């Protein structure tokens, strides 16, 4: 990539505050503090940086629209835009991850749930702890809360899931929050009876599909069955059940998540096709994280992040091509960033916001009643490091938990305006840091972003998206517009 040398010609009177990044040959991206953006070619960037923009010309108008000109800089608009992006600061944890058991019937090569064998009943949550966890969750200052059932495998203790759903719904009659339930499950222990309950009680269902059958089965093992067959059979059944209940399949379907391992990297199009065939219209191309088993099996499953980004670009290009052909599919990682880039709103994805959601946007409740800043913090504790433990549902008060010094430290550490590299990064208005990831991989919650895998991924994805926006292909822009048009899934919302 060719650089432009402007060191001797910089003008400080024309530009308002901006950050910039070369995103391709002949392309420089500018972002403002409040998250406006514009892509300039070399001549335009030179004119901007040297103060040589023709007043009231086309470039002047583009820069003025983005609030990049000092002369016309609108402070009130900038302030309003920043406040809109930080609206989530006004309230507390909305996501409450409840680990009802560590027992799991499946063994996944990258599992970070610290699973236990099926006879380890001592790793089940008790009904008393379940109720106290719900009591704590309802003390959140957030007007809406989501209770997410995790494990192990939550279907192992379906009775507890039911208990929590009913207890929470009863409590909400007076609390008056917007309540949601989700369950992350491998689906292999699903039955018609359990499914009917989950559908009747409007619990969203999420599962994992790692790609075509041979990829999935190799890294997610059931003792006797094909884990792929077990999951996909139920995905089809559940998706049909939503249709039978009159729900729009574009909105209501099983959410399937991909964990991208080395085995997946060479097969991006096949993976997308697998999701499409299953009726899973949303794809989340998550890279591997270093927690749990993935730390031990890294030699088998890990890969350099540039290989992941190659995979990501190919897969997302294919998703966009399918959209052009009339298939409605969304890539969630892109959608999260695009919501911030195109709509100036924060979708409140807790790991991609500044400050991050650990402790203030989410809490994780272990089977034994211990409360953690997030599920990754819980997982580190399962490996002997309780740095991210905040207290317990039996003994701790809500305000002591969210006001805990660890939470404060993580808020500061994940504030991009306190972080080397991030403070000057063009993607500062849209990005986020995961402090537990920093701690695990680099020894401190602050980390060093230039060496961070997450930073490399986020920069790579945003480079890709901004180049797509600059290319301006109509079908891509239409798809991006659909991906950032929020249609509320009212059916899953429980209100008194």
Partner 1 sequence: MSSIEGIPEDLARVDLADKRAILDLDASLYPVEAVYSATYVFIDRCYVLLDRPEAGTLRIVITPKQLDDAESQLRDVVGELANELVSAAWRHQITQENRAKIESVTMQAISGAMGPPTLDDLEDFDFTDEAFEDPLGIAMSWEEKYAKKTEDGEEE
**Shortest approach of partner 1 to residue 374 CB, angstroms?**
14
Contacting residue, 415, 470, 489, 491, with partner 1 by CB under 8 A: 415
Based on the shown chain and the rule CB under 8 A, indicate whether residue 420 belongs to the binding site for partner 1.
yes
Q: Tell me whether residue 442 or residue 467 sits nearer to partner 1 (CB atom).
A: 442
Joined tokens for residue 159: 């009775």
State residue 130 phi and psi, 5-degree precision.
Answer: -60, -45
80 interacts with partner 1 by CB under 8 A: no
Interface with partner 1 (CB under 8 A), residue from 72, 191, 240, 444: 444
Residue from 61, 70, 245, 397 that binds partner 1 (CB under 8 A)? 397
State which residue, 71 or 385, has the beta carbon closest to partner 1: 385
Q: Could you say whether residue 360 binds partner 1 (CB under 8 A)?
A: yes
Q: Which residues inside 454-493 make contact with partner 1, applying CB under 8 A?
A: none
Between 30 and 407, name the residue whose CB sits nearer to partner 1.
407
Tell me the closest approach of the beta carbon of residue 117 to partner 1, in angstroms: 31
Q: Does 260 bind partner 1 (CB under 8 A)?
A: no
Contact call for residue 188 and partner 1 (CB under 8 A): no
The residue from 145, 187, 235, 411 that contacts partner 1 (CB under 8 A) is: 411
* Residue 249 or 403 having the CB closest to partner 1: 403
Q: Is 408 in the site for partner 1 (CB under 8 A)?
A: yes
Residue of 419, 426, 428, 436 interacting with partner 1 (CB under 8 A): 419
Q: How far is the CB of 179 from partner 1 (least distance, A)?
A: 18
Residues paired with residue 282 on neighbouring β-strands, in sequence order: 330
Q: Which of 35, 92, 151, 268 binds partner 1 (CB under 8 A)?
A: 92
Nearer to partner 1, 89 or 251 (CB): 89
359 binds partner 1 (CB under 8 A): yes
Considering only residues 123 to 182 of the shown chain, the ones binding partner 1 according to CB under 8 A are 139-141
Could you tell me which of 24, 222, 203, 9 has the C-alpha nearest to residue 115? 222
**194, 324, 343, 448: which one contacts partner 1 (CB under 8 A)?**
448
Residues near partner 1, by CB under 8 A: 86, 89-93, 139-141, 355, 359-360, 397-399, 402-403, 407-408, 411-412, 415, 417-420, 423, 442-444, 446, 448, 451
């Amino acid at each position: 990539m060719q650089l432009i040398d402007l060191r001797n010609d910089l003008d400080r009177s024309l530009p308002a505050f901006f950050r910039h990044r070369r995103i391709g040959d002949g392309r420089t991206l500018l972002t403002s503090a409040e998250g406006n953006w514009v892509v300039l070619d070399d001549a335009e960037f030179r004119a901007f940086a040297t103060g040589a923009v023709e007043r009231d010309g086309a470039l002047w108008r583009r820069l003025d629209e983005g609030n990049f000109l000092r002369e016309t800089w609108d402070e009130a608009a900038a302030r309003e835009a920043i406040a809109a992006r930080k609206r989530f600061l006004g309230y507390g944890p909305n996501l409450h991850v409840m680990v009802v058991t560590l027992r799991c019937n499946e063994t996944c090569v990258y599992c970070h749930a610290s699973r236990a064998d099926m006879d380890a009943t001592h790793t089940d949550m008790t009904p008393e702890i379940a109720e106290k966890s719900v009591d704590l969750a309802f003390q959140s200052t957030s007007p809406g809360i989501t209770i997410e059932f995790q494990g192990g495998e939550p279907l192992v203790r379906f009775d507890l899931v039911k208990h929590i759903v009913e207890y929470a719904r009863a409590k909400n009659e007076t609390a008056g929050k917007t309540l949601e339930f989700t369950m992350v499950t491998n689906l292999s222990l699903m039955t018609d009876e359990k499914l009917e309950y989950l559908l009747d009680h409007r619990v969203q269902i999420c599962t994992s599909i790692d790609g075509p059958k041979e990829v999935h089965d190799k890294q997610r093992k059931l003792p006797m069955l094909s884990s792929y067959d077990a999951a996909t059979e139920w995905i089809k059944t559940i998706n049909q059940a939503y249709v039978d209940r009159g729900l729009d399949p574009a909105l209501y379907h099983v959410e399937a998540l991909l964990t991208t391992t080395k085995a997946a990297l060479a097969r991006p199009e096949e993976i997308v096709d697998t999701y499409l065939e299953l009726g899973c219209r949303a794809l989340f191309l998550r890279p591997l994280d270093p927690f749990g088993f993935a730390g031990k099996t890294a030699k088998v499953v890990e890969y350099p992040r540039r290989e992941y980004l190659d995979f990501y670009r190919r897969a997302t290009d294919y998703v966009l091509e399918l959209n052009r052909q009339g298939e409605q599919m969304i890539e969630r990682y892109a959608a999260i960033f695009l919501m911030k880039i195109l709509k100036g709103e924060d979708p409140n994805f807790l790991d991609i916001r500044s400050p991050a959601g650990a402790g203030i946007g989410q809490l994780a409740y272990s089977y034994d009643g211990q409360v953690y800043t997030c599920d990754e913090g819980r997982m580190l504790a399962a490996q002997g490091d309780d740095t991210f433990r905040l207290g317990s549902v039996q003994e701790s008060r809500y305000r002591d938990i969210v006001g805990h010094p660890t939470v404060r430290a993580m808020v500061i550490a994940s504030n991009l305006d306190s972080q080397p590299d991030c403070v000057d990064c063009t993607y500062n208005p849209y990005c986020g840091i995961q402090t537990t990831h920093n701690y695990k991989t680099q020894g401190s919650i602050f980390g060093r972003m230039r060496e961070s895998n997450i930073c490399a991924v986020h920069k790579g994805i945003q480079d890709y998206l901004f180049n797509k926006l600059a290319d301006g292909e109509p079908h891509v822009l239409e798809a991006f517009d659909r991906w950032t048009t929020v249609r509320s899934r009212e059916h899953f919302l429980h209100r008194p």
